[in-house]
Structure 1
Amino acid sequence: MMIIITMILTTILPIILISQTVKLILHITLTSKNKAVGIFHPFTNDGGGGERVLWCAVKAVQDLTPDLPCVVYTGDHDATPESLLRRAVDRFGVELISPPKVVHLHKRKWIEEKTYPRFTMIGQSLGSVYLAWEALNKFVPLYYLDTSGYAFTYPLARLFGCKVICYTHYPTISLDMLSRVHSRSSMYNNDAFVANSVLLSRLKLVYYTFFSWMYGFVGSCANLAMVNSSWTQSHIEKLWGIPDRIKRVYPPCDTTGLQALPLERESTPPKIISVAQFRPEKAHSLQLQAFALSIKKLNSDVPRPKLQFVGSCRNDADEARLQSLKDLAIELKVEDDVEFYKNVTYRDLVKLLGGATAGIHSMIDEHFGISVVEYMAAGAIPIAHNSAGPKMDIVLPEEGKQTGFLAQTVEEFADAILKILQMSESEKHEMAEAGRRRANRFSEQRFYEDFKAAISPILN
């Protein structure tokens, strides 16, 4: 009897699986494609550099092909074409030619970090496939543009017959991450408990190695991959293995509007601005500790500075991080010297940048660093982490003149703050002027030109 059941199962099950697979392929193949650009950006309210790229990308497509509709896949249920049009202007100063169409997604929780306390990368990556399945079943575009870095959705989009274009801000996994796990370095993406265990570190290294292989496979399905920096390009070329389909397109920075701000700043009190979402990798606590240390070392004849945190909160976890930062300011006894600005409008951000003497940014391996460019364009001297984008592309000498400072430790950031505070007004002006010239390389206009040049062969 068992032999008969086994024979039936081994015969029938493969037939069932094959038939279901054929049905799936036929369903996808027969699904009609719409001549449109479908933009996969589930979080259209994150307020960061990624959202600026989204709206600038929509504008670039509209400029290049006015008759080609842009459809945004979003998990924000209150988003409408009109509200997104207003948001692009209010938050980023980007004026779209027409409102984008909207496709609402209801399964966004499957890509949220809180859904996966462990194995977050693989969980979010597979979750993005499920979310893309919902998106493509609702609307199949001829061109699928991912502006959020969900590479695992590319094979599915190709299966639906789409041409896949992506703008990659940073690799989901990098060779640096593998190196840190191998060396057992503790960091926001490598828990101290794991780093302190030989066995767990080895297991995580196997997991990361397997994931990097999968990431390389799905990424290679892109017809065109745009990357935002030299650092990102280097990693993506090694992981995806498609160097001929990779184009470096620096992200759009509002250098034109910010360069209208005067370089002369009110020196009492000098203001140091920090513009970044309240996320763990942005290392706000390091900035606060460096600021407190610089105040301790400050000479009595130098005005006491103010530190201004400006950022957005995506969820409750970000809100909790913001509150812990306020608590840390009290603990360090600098609460009267620190100001917090949450979810500000673009107009208010420009006003704050216009009053800043310096700008601080401390994320390790920041893939590019739009806020660093914004500091420079606005005339605020940057103090950025000595790695990745700021080190390789941004805070470099311009015409032989220093454009800012690079640092790694609390002490180095504190020393950079002190150097700026102790500089004469003419020295500050000279450095700010050089930084502003450097920022011209990353203008919004330059993004439009490079983005359109990259996508034209695909759209045509």
Structure 2
Amino acid sequence: MYALLGSVAVAVVVAWATMMVWVWRRRQQKKERAVAFFHPYTNDGGGGERVLWCAVKALQELVPDVTCAIYTGDATTPEALAQRALSHFGVHLFRPIRVVKLERRKWVEADTYPRFTLIGQSFGSIILAWEALMKFTPLVFFDTTGYAFTYPIVRACGCKVVCYTHYPTISSDMLSRVIRRTSMYNNNSTITRSYLLTGAKALYYMLMAMLYGLAGRCSNLVMVNSSWTQSHIEKLWRVPERVIRVYPPCDTLSLQVLPIQRTSKDYYIVSVAQFRPEKAHNLQLEAFAAALQHLGCQHVGEVEEAEQTNSKSPRLKLVGSCRNREDLERLQGLKRKCQELGIQDQVDFYENVSYNKLKDLLGGAVAGLHSMIDEHFGISVVEYMAAGAIPIAHNSAGPKEDIVLEEDGQKTGFLATTKDEFADAICEVLTMPEEGRLKMAKAARQRASRFSVENFDHNFKAAIGFLVSPNAKN
């Protein structure tokens, strides 16, 4: 036993010494004038990927002589990524980018860690960052996916660390739910039923929060996407002077030119979200089923008129992307849920659609559903508003604090928490007189303009300029 422990100790010391030598050598090297974006999944199709491409484009325009590189685990090419940025997000890059292929992406995948997933992925990101820096060491390491545990090793290698943080890896809200023994997708019922397991998980979260704070303090510049995220990051990382709020880029301009009237033959509600557990699609389906039942019994207002003139009753269209096998299985589960609720003929699913198709779907919707608890920002909610669809969003975080607020005294949408509250909001939108709906939709569209691509571009360049300007020190 002692011999085994001694061997392990020697191996750890040797590995640590080797790492320190490598880090020292990297520090001595003159860094290539490049900004490398740490984004292991360049095919997730969500708001994070939109931020990535808008950031790359802004940098190419701000400092034309700087190389932009992407650390990705996807088998892809610079040309394929540029085409994806254009086709999925309408972002036209000025110049080719450099692709640095990562082979160890499994270390940050959730299914690699059946238990202690949070700490497993966090330390797995260090392994992935190590591989990234071995292959390419830039002047600026730009993390766009929230892997804060990579920052200490990146700084040790002499790189500047910039991050765009969409949400904190750990937060006081997560800890409070564990302590209250609230069952959620990341806090299963086995733990909530046990005081011992709850206490152990609370201690685990407190330890993670402490380590997360220490790692975050190694950043040179922190961009956050919302008031909610800013509040949590400043509390955890304790470097408020380095934190700047830069709202994410929402394609409000092209959506705002869509007709605000709804003349489609299908009177429908849209939901745009990746097929992930935290997006709470089951809640949307249950609320929609409850709303249909209520409207079917009472036949009130505009819905009755719609049913007399349209060939179909109100529908729900779920639009999202699937990152992996688990997401595909989740999508099939949602289809089975529709069967259970008896609404399979009123619900349509759209997987990995093009950007133009997404705009078409948004342009015909009377309302847009969002149901994620503590959504850090909520790009889809802004897209609903810009397109003229009334938002029905979860009453927390980004939608509550930044987006679904009054505009010049006019209500811009609805906030809900429970199934019944969502169902009531759906009924109210579907039965709203057209004049009232147009008034609310116009106010929502006006508010959405605050979160435009142009505003992101301006604020992003203002935030990062001092780090990448020609006079910036290596």
Structure 1 match to 2:427: 418
Alignment partners' CA distance in 2, 1:53 and 1:150: 16
Alignment partners' CA distance in 1, 2:16 and 2:291: 67
Residues 446 and 21 of structure 1, relative CA distance in 2, 3 Å threshold? closer
1:220 aligns with 2:217: yes
Deviations 1:401-423, CA, capped at 9 Å, x for gaps? 00000000000000000000110
Shift of 1:82: 0.5
SS at match of 1:310: strand
Shift of 1:142: 0.3
SS at match of 1:190: coil
Deviations 1:76-129, CA, capped at 9 Å, x for gaps? 01x111001100010000111112110000100110111111111110011110
Shift of 1:14: 11
Structure 1 match to 2:156: 159
Counterpart mapping for 1:314-325 below 5 A: 314-325=323-334
Identify which of 391, 398, 404 aligns with 1:389.
398
Counterpart mapping for 1:6-405 below 5 A: 20=18, 22-77=20-75, 79-266=76-263, 268-298=265-295, 299-300=298-299, 302=303, 303=307, 304-405=313-414
Alignment partners' CA distance in 2, 1:46 and 1:52: 10
* Conserved 8 A contact 1:84-1:99: no
Alignment partners' CA distance in 1, 2:391 and 2:20: 57
* Conserved 8 A contact 1:378-1:436: yes
Deviations 1:161-219, CA, capped at 9 Å, x for gaps? 10100000000001100111111111111111101110000000110000000000000
Q: TM-score, normalised by structure 2?
A: 0.93
Alignment partners' CA distance in 2, 1:333 and 1:25: 60
State which drifts further: 366-375 or 14-23.
14-23
Residues 143 and 197 of structure 1, relative CA distance in 2, 3 Å threshold? same
Shift of 1:342: 0.2
Residues 65 and 340 of structure 1, relative CA distance in 2, 3 Å threshold? same
* Conserved 8 A contact 1:383-1:405: yes
Deviations 1:241-262, CA, capped at 9 Å, x for gaps? 0000000000000000000100
SS at match of 1:335: coil
Alignment partners' CA distance in 2, 1:419 and 1:368: 25
Residues 332 and 165 of structure 1, relative CA distance in 2, 3 Å threshold? same
Matched residue type, 1:39: F
Shift of 1:15: 8.7
Alignment partners' CA distance in 1, 2:387 and 2:191: 42
SS at match of 2:318: strand
Alignment partners' CA distance in 1, 2:16 and 2:188: 42
Q: Structure 2: which 5+ runs fail to align?
A: 308-312, 470-474
Matched residue type, 2:299: S
Alignment partners' CA distance in 1, 2:319 and 2:266: 18
Identify which of 413, 420, 439 aligns with 2:448.
439
SS at match of 1:309: strand
What percentage of aligned pairs have identical amino acids? Answer: 59
* Conserved 8 A contact 1:32-1:140: no
Residues 424 and 67 of structure 1, relative CA distance in 2, 3 Å threshold? same
Residues 69 and 24 of structure 1, relative CA distance in 2, 3 Å threshold? closer
Matched residue type, 1:308: K
SS at match of 2:345: helix
Q: TM-score, normalised by structure 1?
A: 0.96
Alignment partners' CA distance in 2, 1:383 and 1:376: 10
Deviations 1:287-329, CA, capped at 9 Å, x for gaps? 0000000000003352331000000000010001100100110
Shift of 1:269: 3.4
Matched residue type, 1:300: H
Deviations 1:343-391, CA, capped at 9 Å, x for gaps? 0000000000010000000000000000000000000000000000000
Runs of 4+ in 1 over 3 A off after TM superposition: 12-22
Shift of 1:63: 1.1
Over aligned residues, Cα RMSD in angstroms? 1.9
Alignment partners' CA distance in 1, 2:400 and 2:163: 24
Shift of 1:31: 4.0
Structure 1 match to 2:472: none
Alignment partners' CA distance in 1, 2:154 and 2:283: 41
Matched residue type, 2:69: V
Residues 389 and 17 of structure 1, relative CA distance in 2, 3 Å threshold? closer
SS at match of 1:187: coil
Task: Give the length in aligned residue pairs.
Answer: 453
Matched residue type, 1:455: I
Alignment partners' CA distance in 2, 1:218 and 1:245: 14
SS at match of 1:277: coil
State which drifts further: 368-377 or 266-275.
266-275
Residues 312 and 22 of structure 1, relative CA distance in 2, 3 Å threshold? closer
Shift of 1:20: 4.0
